[in-house]
């Protein structure tokens, strides 16, 4: 494999930049350009002070470290040059290293080499991408769990169990006619145990998707209840126009916000009412479409006005969705109370309702808890023991594995020949090995690493 070079830090004017070189030419290249006053050469796991110099030109004063193969991130000889963080100086050193034979690294190429050299499995590599791009505490927690190898250990455990079942099945295949039912029932029990393990891992898959992609949340209500004020409050910025004129918002305004470590993809919509205004009506129809594709609806009601037909009509549009009722402007004189809400809107209850005041910053802790409870995220934020699948590739493979295990169990119960049973168990094993990258095609590997940033 050729030697690669990349910038491990971002290219901007900063205190320090780190240029990383990996491959069997790294030491050769650095020896040509690194000059130090000390007599000893660059030893593994040591940082040395000196200058980058070539053809009498001094490029920069630097610190250089050396990690010798296989004890490095990539498993190859790795050199890191800590240079000053100027864009020009960094680029000059980078180009110098390239001119001496290194190739500019592709995005993710360092980590891909770590994987190909057996330093990490694919789940850890993917966790590193997730860690870099995590947008919320919960997402970060899931990624860290995965980098520590929790998922990998579980996968190995399942793999071992499946291999055991498979050898058991194959040993008795040849003697099938004489095999006593007790052996078959042993196999059946073992398969059931693995099915339970896989189901346990898949338990929080929906939460995983929400943690990674955010909860699509549509703010809905009649005009002037405070929908845009809510969006602005939650994203801590004046993104949407707020006025006391009903019908202010027309377009849908989208913002990502973090509420208590959970990401919401928030949509502010036009207040829904009968309107003869062409532009407003288009906005209202867009709001109705957005409702359909949302995971959660914030139904905003205005406590300073009586409930009316407009509120009831909107409820008809959203009643089958996941709703949180937000009774806004609670710091003012309230024209109705929660009991009236419970009477008028049949899906409402204490667990999906909060009185809030955007003006006085009231009720938002309750709102955070309601969201967590609704999506079973409260347990997860406390319980770091659970494996939460946030990666679609893993979820899909586990689902396929489960299907194969169920098929094998069915064949066994239907008294099918054992080689049929073993085909499905083999397939299940393949899916597990697919997740760790032990059995995976090259195109998928390239695709995974292309999502990395440059220099990682
Ligand atoms: N007293 C009080 N007024 C509020 C509160 N939240 C919002 N308002 C006011 O309510 C009015 C309407 O706010 P908006 O956020 O524009 O309402 P909207 O629901 O987006 O209205 P449309 O875009 O017309 O559908 C503004 O005058 C806000 O200042 C609150 O908590 N208390
Ligand atoms: Mg608005």
User: What digits encode the pLDDT tens for the residues 255-280?
Assistant: 999 998 889 999 999 999 988 899 99
- What confidence tens digit (pLDDT) does each residue in 139-174 have? 888 898 888 888 999 999 999 999 999 988 887 776
Residue 16 has pLDDT above 90, yes or no: yes
Residue 282 inside a domain? The answer is yes
The answer on 394 and 377 residing in a single domain is no
Residue nearest to atom 7 of ligand 1 (CA): 226
CA-based nearest residue to 218, from 286, 294, 272, 289: 294
Residue 111 inside a domain? The answer is no
Share of the chain above pLDDT 90, in %: 75
CATH number at residue 86: 3.30.1360.120
pLDDT at 427: 96
Rg for the chain (alpha carbons), in Å? 29
Average pLDDT over residues 352-381: 90
Distance 340 CA to ligand 2 centre (A): 25
Which atom of ligand 1 lies nearest, measured to the CA of 270?
Answer: 25
Beta carbon of 223 within 6 Å of any ligand 1 atom: yes
Alpha helix ranges (H) inside 71-149: 87-99, 109-116, 122-133, 137-147
CA-based nearest residue to 126, from 454, 451, 387, 455: 451
Tokens of 434: 């697919």
Strands (E), 34-113: 34-35, 46-54, 57-67, 78-85, 103-104
Beta carbon of 249 within 6 Å of any ligand 1 atom: yes
Ligand closest in space to the Cα of 221: 1
Contact call for residues 19 and 96 (beta carbons, < 8 A): no
Average pLDDT, the chain: 92
Distance 254 CA to ligand 2 centre (A): 12
The answer on 294 and 178 residing in a single domain is no
The answer on 279 and 219 residing in a single domain is yes
Using the 3D structure, point to which of 382, 415, 436 is the last residue of a domain: 382
Beta carbon of 350 within 6 Å of any ligand 1 atom: no
Q: What does the DSSP assignment read for 338-360?
A: HHHHHHH-TT--GGGEEE-BTTT
Beta carbon of 232 within 6 Å of any ligand 1 atom: no
The answer on 393 and 378 residing in a single domain is no
The answer on 278 and 222 residing in a single domain is yes
Residue 114 inside a domain? The answer is no
Residue 259 inside a domain? The answer is yes
Residue 410 has pLDDT above 60, yes or no: yes
Residue 299 has pLDDT above 70, yes or no: yes
Beta carbon of 355 within 6 Å of any ligand 1 atom: no
The answer on 396 and 359 residing in a single domain is no
Using the 3D structure, point to which of 359, 382, 405 is the last residue of a domain: 382
CATH number at residue 223: 3.40.50.300
Residue 44 inside a domain? The answer is yes
The answer on 264 and 175 residing in a single domain is no
Q: Which residues contact 448 (CB under 8 A, 6 or more apart)?
A: 108, 122, 125, 126, 129, 393
Distance 226 CA to ligand 1 centre (A): 3
Beta carbon of 358 within 6 Å of any ligand 1 atom: yes
Q: How confident is the model at residue 120 (pLDDT cuts 50, 70, 90)?
A: very high
Residue 416 inside a domain? The answer is yes
The answer on 63 and 134 residing in a single domain is no
Q: Which residue has the higher pLDDT, 416 or 223?
A: 223
Beta carbon of 229 within 6 Å of any ligand 1 atom: yes
Ligand closest in space to the Cα of 280: 1
Assign residue 39 a region (left: φ > 0; alpha: ψ between -120 and 50; beta: otherwise).
alpha
Residue with structure tokens 């509420």?
259
Residue 62 inside a domain? The answer is yes
Residue with structure tokens 């050769």?
28
Residue 169 inside a domain? The answer is yes
pLDDT at 231: 98
pLDDT at 195: 98
The answer on 348 and 247 residing in a single domain is yes
The answer on 375 and 256 residing in a single domain is yes
Tell me how many domains the chain contains.
Answer: 3
The answer on 135 and 192 residing in a single domain is yes
Distance 292 CA to ligand 1 centre (A): 24
CA-based nearest residue to 389, from 87, 75, 142: 142
Give the torsion sign (CA, 83, 84, 89, 94): positive
The answer on 299 and 225 residing in a single domain is yes
pLDDT at 340: 96
Beta carbon of 271 within 6 Å of any ligand 1 atom: yes
CA-based nearest residue to 4, from 57, 78, 58: 78
Using the 3D structure, point to which of 353, 382, 411 is the last residue of a domain: 382
Q: How confident is the model at residue 449 (pLDDT cuts 50, 70, 90)?
A: confident
Beta carbon of 108 within 6 Å of any ligand 1 atom: no
Domain coverage including residue 399: 124-203+389-450
Q: Which residue has the higher pLDDT, 443 or 28?
A: 28
Residue nearest to atom 27 of ligand 1 (CA): 244
In DSSP terms, 51 is beta-bridged to 35, 61
């Amino acid at each position: 494999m050729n030697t690669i070079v990349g910038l491990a830090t971002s290219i901007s004017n900063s205190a320090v930049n780190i240029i990383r070189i990996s491959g069997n030419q790294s030491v050769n290249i650095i020896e040509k350009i690194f000059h130090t006053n000390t007599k000893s050469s660059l030893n593994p796991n040591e940082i040395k002070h000196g200058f980058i110099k070539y053809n009498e030109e001094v490029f920069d004063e630097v610190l250089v470290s050396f990690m010798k193969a296989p004890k490095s991130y990539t498993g190859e000889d790795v050199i890191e040059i800590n240079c000053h963080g100027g864009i020009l100086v960094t680029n000059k050193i980078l180009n110098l290293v390239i001119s001496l034979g290194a190739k500019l690294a592709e995005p993710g190429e360092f980590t891909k080499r770590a994987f190909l050299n057996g330093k990490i499995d694919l789940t850890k590599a993917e966790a590193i991408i997730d860690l870099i791009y995590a947008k919320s505490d919960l997402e970060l927690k899931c990624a860290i769990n995965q980098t520590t190898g929790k998922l990998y250990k579980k996968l190995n455990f399942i793999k071992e169990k499946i291999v055991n079942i498979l050898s058991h099945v194959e040993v008795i295949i040849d003697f099938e006619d004489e095999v006593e039912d007790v052996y078959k029932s042993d196999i059946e029990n073992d398969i059931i145990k693995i099915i339970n393990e896989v189901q346990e891992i898949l338990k929080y898959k929906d939460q995983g998707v929400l943690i990674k992609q955010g909860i699509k949340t549509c703010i809905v209500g009649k005009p002037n209840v405070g929908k845009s004020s809510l969006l602005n409050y939650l994203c801590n910025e004046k993104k949407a126009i707020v006025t006391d004129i009903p019908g202010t918002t027309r377009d849908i305004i989208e913002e990502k916000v973090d509420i208590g470590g959970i990401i919401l993809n928030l949509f502010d919509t036009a207040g829904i009412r009968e309107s003869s205004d062409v532009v407003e009506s288009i906005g209202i129809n867009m709001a109705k479409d957005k409702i359909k594709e949302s995971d959660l609806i914030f139904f905003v009601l205005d406590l300073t006005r009586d409930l009316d037909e407009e509120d009831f009509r909107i409820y008809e549009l959203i009643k089958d969705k996941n709703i949180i009722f937000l009774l806004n402007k609670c710091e003012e004189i309230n024209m109705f109370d929660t009991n009236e809400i419970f009477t008028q809107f049949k899906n409402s209850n204490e667990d999906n309702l909060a009185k809030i005041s955007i003006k006085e910053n009231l009720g938002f802790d309750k709102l955070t808890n309601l969201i967590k409870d609704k999506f079973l995220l409260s347990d997860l934020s406390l319980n770091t023991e659970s494996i939460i699948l946030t990666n679609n590739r893993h979820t899909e493979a586990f689902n396929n594995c489960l299907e194969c295990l169920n098929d094998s169990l069915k064949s066994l119960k239907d008294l099918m020949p054992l080689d049929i049973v073993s085909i499905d168990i083999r397939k299940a094993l393949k899916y597990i090995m697919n997740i760790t990258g032990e059995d995976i095609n090259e195109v998928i590997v390239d695709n995974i690493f292309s999502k990395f940033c440059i220099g990682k």
